């Protein structure tokens, strides 16, 4: 099933010229984080109300006044304090594995935290975050109004675990290299032009759509198979693309 929402990425370049990208948080994760945060604020409000129940026995007016102020302060400062202390995360964002970052991929500064939270009422207009939601959906980086003012983005912050090294290496076993005399014959027979085309196909693999890629590797593999015949046990499990990959490795690998 094709996803309705294609996850955009924030493409960045370090001063050393290295390019990398950060996956931007999707609307569903952000909405769920928001609901969790609203629930936290409501629970905090209920706890304050309970705590002030003692004061109400002395002065109902003072207790109600304090409750109004405390609830306002909690709802205003909750986001600011959490994002400040947890480097761009609130309870909801932590649970959803997302984080607020500077638009340049850096940790956010306290002034950015304050401004993006102060502008929340504008995002909430006219109700249910309609303005913020529409602006974020239209924004290239999913920024609501507060994010645009503060120059911030919300990204996924889940740590990527190291790859399974064994799996990574297992796929790289080149069964054709088990037959060095056939590999040598392949080096002799494949023209530099064909070798270049095969290499180019591998390098540009992601730029091809699925159908074109399958067709290209099928044709290349067919031509390469005709040049040298490897034993069936060495090549029978290989896909066309893997066959080309193994061949390119034989052709370009330093002996």
Partner 1 sequence: MILDIQRFLQSAKPIWKELGELLDYLEQDPDPQWDLNQTEKFYRLYQQTSAHLSEVRHLTAERELRGYLEQLVARSYARIYVRRAEKNRARWWQWFTAAFPAAVRRHSMALALSVGLFLLGCVFGAAALKIDPSSKTALLPFGHGQTSPTARVKKEMEDRGKRISQARGRFSAQLMTHNTQVAFFTLGLGMTFGLGTIILLFYNGVILGAVAVDYVSDGQAVFLMGWILPHGSVEIPAILLAGQAGLVLGHALIGWGNRLPRRLRLRAVLPDLVTMAGGVALLLVWAGIIESFFSQYHEPVVPYALKIAFGVVELCALALFLARGGANEGAV
Closest alpha carbon to 124 in 152, 140, 145, 138: 145
Q: Which is nearer to partner 1, 206 or 232 (CB)?
A: 206
Shortest distance (Å) from residue 245 CB to partner 1 = 8
Which residue, 62 or 212, is less far from partner 1 as judged by CB? 62
Task: Provide the minimum distance between the beta carbon of 21 and partner 1 in the complex, in angstroms, as a whole number.
Answer: 6
- Alpha carbon 120 to its chain's center: 25
Beta carbon of residue 17, minimum distance to partner 1 (angstroms, whole number): 9
Closer by beta carbon to partner 1, 34 or else 67: 67
The residue to which tokens 């924030």 are assigned: 10
Q: What is the largest CA-CA distance in the chain?
A: 98
Q: What are the b/e assignments for 95-125, b being 16+ CB within 10 Å?
A: ebebbbbebebeebeeebbbbbbebbeebbe
Using alpha carbons, list the distances in angstroms from residue 160 to 21, 141, 164. Answer: 13, 21, 12
Instruction: Of 224, 233, 231, give the one whose Cα is nearest residue 251.
Output: 224
Q: Rounded to an integer, what is the distance from CA 202 to the centroid of its chain?
A: 25
Q: To the nearest whole angstrom, how small is the minimum distance from the Cβ of residue 253 to partner 1?
A: 6
Q: Which residues bind partner 1 (CB under 8 A)?
A: 12, 14-16, 18, 20-22, 59, 61-69, 72, 87, 101-107, 109-112, 114-115, 118-119, 121-122, 145-146, 148-151, 159-165, 168-169, 171-172, 199, 202-203, 205-206, 245, 248-249, 252-253
Residue 254 Cβ vs partner 1, minimum distance, rounded to whole Å: 8
Alpha-carbon distance of 184 to 41, in angstroms, equals 70
Q: Which is nearer to partner 1, 211 or 232 (CB)?
A: 211
Cα gap 168→164, rounded to integer Å? 6
Give the burial class of 40: count Cβ atoms within 10 A of its Cβ; 0-12 exposed, 13-18 middle, 19 or more buried.
middle
Shortest approach of partner 1 to residue 56 CB, angstroms?
A: 11
Nearer to partner 1, 149 or 227 (CB): 149
Q: How far is the CB of 112 from partner 1 (least distance, A)?
A: 6
Nearer to partner 1, 61 or 236 (CB): 61
Do 139 and 170 form a contact (C-beta atoms < 8 A)? no
Residue given tokens 């309970």 in the structure block: 50
Q: Among residues 107 and 231, whose Cβ is nearest to partner 1?
A: 107
């Amino acid at each position: 099933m094709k996803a309705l929402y294609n996850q955009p990425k924030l493409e960045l370049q370090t001063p050393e010229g290295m390019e990398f990208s950060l996956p931007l948080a999707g609307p569903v994760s952000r909405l769920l984080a928001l609901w969790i945060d609203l629930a936290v604020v409501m629970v905090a409000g209920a706890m304050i109300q309970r705590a002030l129940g003692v004061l109400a026995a002395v002065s109902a007016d003072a207790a109600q006044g304090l409750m109004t102020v405390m609830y306002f302060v909690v709802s205003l400062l909750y986001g600011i304090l959490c994002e400040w202390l947890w480097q761009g995360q609130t309870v909801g964002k932590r649970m959803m594995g997302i984080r607020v970052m500077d638009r340049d991929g850096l940790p956010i500064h306290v002034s950015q935290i304050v401004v993006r939270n102060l502008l929340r009422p504008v995002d909430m207009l006219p109700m249910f975050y309609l303005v913020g939601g529409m602006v974020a959906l239209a924004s290239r980086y999913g920024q609501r109004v507060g994010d645009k003012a503060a120059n911030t983005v919300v990204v996924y912050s889940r740590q990527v675990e190291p790859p399974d090294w064994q799996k990574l290496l297992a796929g790289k076993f080149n069964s054709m290299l088990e037959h060095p005399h056939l590999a040598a014959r392949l080096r002799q027979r494949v023209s530099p032009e064909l070798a270049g085309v095969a290499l180019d196909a591998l390098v540009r693999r992601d730029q091809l759509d699925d159908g074109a890629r399958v067709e290209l590797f099928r044709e290349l593999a067919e031509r390469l198979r005709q040049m040298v015949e490897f034993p069936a046990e060495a090549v029978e499990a290989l896909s066309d693309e893997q066959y080309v990959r193994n061949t390119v490795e034989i052709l370009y690998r330093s002996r």
